Amino acid sequence: MATVLVTGATGNVGSKVATELCARGISVRSFVRDLDRAAAVLGGKTEMAHGDFAEPASVRRALDGVERMFLLCANDPRQVEYGTNAIDAAAAAGVRQVVMLSTIGAGAGSSTVFFDQHGRIEEHLRGSGIPAVVLRSSHMMSNILGSATTIRQAGRFFLPAGDARIAMVDPHDVATAAAAVLVTSGHDGRTHVLTGPEAITYAEVARLLSNVLGRPIEYVDVPDDAAVAGMAQAGLPQWIAEQVVDVFEALRGGENASTTSSVRELTGREPRGFEEFARWAAPLLVGE
């Protein structure tokens, strides 16, 4: 197989997609904004393409000689523009397949902006003429890392999740599934919904963290407005904070409550449960 371009290559999923493809002997080009950070995260395993979705010419350069692309656009007010521009550049470059990471709940016109953005990019991809696969991920277990500071300092984390049951998925499983799709045939035109093995509440997350970390961890449910204020105070842009809370409203409504068998079908093994993820994440949560 010729080169695969991995976007979002220094993030929780993209970095693991790049690593997984390299382990399979695939030539990987990582599309990154910060070369130093990319070198630290990826360890020089991949070719680097320096660029930014906001600079379409850099996307076009990165796609030169690329056969397949893993498309991951971070949440941003310009996310739809970035995603559609990348798809258009891939079409112009003759890319043979795009595998897009989307989200459960995606749909153009959704009142939840994150879902609307992903849905609009999905629609553009399907109309691009490029053979495409969409991976709709459930709420990721790694989101708990955003609460690492309060877990370390106070043994607590604060979220507006109520008692929502969420089929959280380990980003390692999302990445392994993405890599499997990129190196096997028969997926074009399909949408795979990726979830963890069971739907759990954040109270159960706290119990599992307590078991793994060896000290009490408490989940504190907070009202939506307090959650927005807390995230903004922690430095998250107001727009992002408001949309994160909108997603939690959807979670409370059961948006991510169902499990699927997609991870097992794509990777050949069962998805990881939260306790296994917590063991991996423990050094990040205790500050080691």
Determine contact, residues 209/148, Cβ cutoff 8 Å: no
H/E stretch holding 126 reads helix 113-126
- Residue 2: the pLDDT is 82
Determine contact, residues 178/101, Cβ cutoff 8 Å: yes
- Residue 151: the pLDDT is 96
Bridge partners (DSSP) listed for residue 7: 31
User: 3-class SS at 236?
Assistant: coil
- Residue 286: the pLDDT is 87
H/E stretch holding 262 reads helix 262-267
pLDDT in tens, 62-105: 999 999 999 999 889 999 999 999 999 999 999 999 999 999 99
pLDDT in tens, 240-276: 999 999 999 999 999 999 999 999 999 999 999 999 9
Determine contact, residues 266/185, Cβ cutoff 8 Å: no
Q: Tell me which residues of the chain have a pLDDT lower than 70.
A: 1, 288
How deeply is 102 buried, as exposed, middle or buried, from its count of CB atoms within 10 A (0-12, 13-18, 19+)?
Answer: buried
DSSP tag of 200: B
Does pTM top 0.85 for this prediction? Answer: yes
Determine contact, residues 191/177, Cβ cutoff 8 Å: no
Q: Which two tokens stand for residue 206?
A: 């706290």
Buried b (16+ CB within 10 A) or exposed e, 29-42: bbbbeeeeebbebb
Determine contact, residues 69/4, Cβ cutoff 8 Å: yes
Q: Which amino acid is at 130?
A: I
